[in-house]
Structure 1
Amino acid sequence: MTVLAAASLTETFDALGAGFEKRHPGVTVSTTYGGSGALAQQIVQGAPVDVFASAAGAPMMTVTKAGLAARPTVFATNVLELVVPKGNPAHVESLADLSRPGLKVVLCDMTVPCGSAAQTLLQKAGVAVRPVSLEQDVKQVLSKVELDEADAGLVYVTDARSAHGEVATVDVPEATAVVNDYPIAVLEKAPNPAAARAFVAYVRSPVGTKALRDAGFGPAP
């Protein structure tokens, strides 16, 4: 069974995939992670996929408008958080600090949900930022900060948690106003529709819900 999932779901879906395989002997879950927009395009271009899990509604809409998925359901939510290298050498204390001249800020590209959310957050807060790079998924932003290639980056709360102390975090109270919904759907042309439906049910089950909450995801609306 093939799953395409937003990069921010990597750790959680790896664990859920392993748990699903144990409950369904003979089923192998193969998951590819990346920017939700790029994954949606792969589906539209004919990639044989069973399940799609997106970090926002727009990429899923691309798939549903093409008639390739029906009845997606939101299974989790996420918000952004500032991450900085350990020790916070640039002394970033708030979202407003991202406008400081000379500060190396990394964001997701606007074509992926983390980038769209970051742009909305910055606009709402009235903070002008000139990023030194725009990355294709949230894990790339996190990596830049972990490697001290940036002074700060905006990632999801869940990604900051997944770094296990390799980055420091800066609270962003404004982020609660920009919430990303995560929809999931079985593809209409799923090669393994029964397994796909069972996997979506597993993600939405108490076991899946607990794994998502433990990772820092918020509840579905």
Structure 2
Amino acid sequence: MSLARPRRRVAAAALCLAALLTVAGCGSGDDSAGDGGEGRTQLTVLAAASLTDVFAKVGDAYEKGHPDVRVRFSFAGSQDLAAQVRQGAPADALVTADLPTMRGLRGETGPMTTIARNRLVIAVGEGNPHRVRGLRDLADADLKVVLAAPEVPVGRYSQAVLDGQHVGVKPVSQEPSVRAVLSKVTLGEADAGIVYVTDAATAKGSVDTVTIPDAQNAIATYPAAPLTSSRHDAQATSFVRWLTSPTAQKLLREAGFQRP
């Protein structure tokens, strides 16, 4: 399905396309005339940064079952993905880490499907040298805490759980994605940060984690939807539907995501 766009949005789309083409994606082979090469349809999926590792496997699995389709991903914070959609980025489907971001794109997306859920955890340096035991310890003025920015889904979730426990935190930085938060802790530039359970799992051996009890935690919901501007509407809808299949769900569970 195609939508007419003003000239200024066409220019923005061209800029977004250039950015998307620099992102490594699943599949192999050279693109041909904007498709997936060798007669295959190329689907471009904008996905939340916290899906980076698992979606590499998801893309491979989808292509094995759909040899006529090549899937490429562009990962970023959900708020940045939403901005790309509003600017007319040439993409086919969107997966965000929260419902508000997806709902804010009504008219730009097709039917929404929840594909997974996630929870928060405190990431700390290996061995937990500052002996962080829970959310209240993050209020220590001597502790360098990093959080995601408030417009980022994990940033909103983090602030919600801190507010729920009446914990005031002055972060040393506010990052544009959960992966940026994790990176700060991994590199030793921060003593602690709040990330998703699944992201912390990708850094085993570099960071340790402190569990946030369920009663204090927040549940992150991951909705997926085809974009109404997609040139491959049927294939985009099929991919979104497939994300709830047993094969895709098994990969998501193995990565630590919870059932939809």
**Category of TM-score, reference length = shorter chain:** over 0.9
- Conservation of the 8 A alpha-carbon contact between 2:146 and 2:181: yes
Name which structure has the greater RCO, CA cutoff 8 Å, separation 6+. Answer: 1
Q: 1:176 to 1:97 in 2, by over 3 A?
A: closer
Equivalent residue number for residue 95 of structure 1: 135
Cα distance in 2 for residues equivalent to 1:177 and 1:8 = 17
Instruction: Say whether residues 1:115 and 2:177 are aligned partners.
Output: no
Q: Tell me, which stretches of 5 or more residues in structure 2 are unaligned?
A: 1-42
Could you tell me the TM-score, scaled by structure 1's length?
Answer: 0.95
How do residues 133-172 of structure 1 correspond to structure 2 at under 5 angstroms? 133-172=173-212
Which amino acid in structure 1 is aligned with residue 88 of structure 2? G
Cα distance in 2 for residues equivalent to 1:165 and 1:16 = 24
Q: Which structure's residues are more often helix, by fraction?
A: 1
- Conservation of the 8 A alpha-carbon contact between 1:125 and 1:174: no
The DSSP-based 3-state class of the residue aligned with 1:28 is strand
Select the residue among 184, 187, 209 that pairs with 2:227: 187
For the aligned residues, what is the CA RMSD? Answer: 1.2
Which amino acid in structure 2 is aligned with residue 11 of structure 1? D
Cα distance in 2 for residues equivalent to 1:82 and 1:147 = 15
The DSSP-based 3-state class of the residue aligned with 1:190 is coil
- Percent identity of the aligned residues? 45
Larger radius of gyration: 2
Equivalent residue number for residue 217 of structure 1: 257
Cα distance in 2 for residues equivalent to 1:105 and 1:186 = 36
Deviation of residue 192 (structure 1)? 1.5
Q: Tell me, which stretches of 5 or more residues in structure 1 are unaligned?
A: none
User: For residues 1-23 of structure 1, what are the alpha-carbon distances to aligned partners after superposition, in whole Å with 9 as ceiling and x for unaligned?
Assistant: 10000000111111101111122
Select the residue among 39, 48, 73 that pairs with 1:6: 48
User: For residues 5-61 of structure 1, what are the alpha-carbon distances to aligned partners after superposition, in whole Å with 9 as ceiling and x for unaligned?
Assistant: 000011111110111112222422110111101101110111111110000011101
Which amino acid in structure 1 is aligned with residue 251 of structure 2? A
Cα distance in 1 for residues equivalent to 2:124 and 2:215 = 16
Q: How many residues align?
A: 218
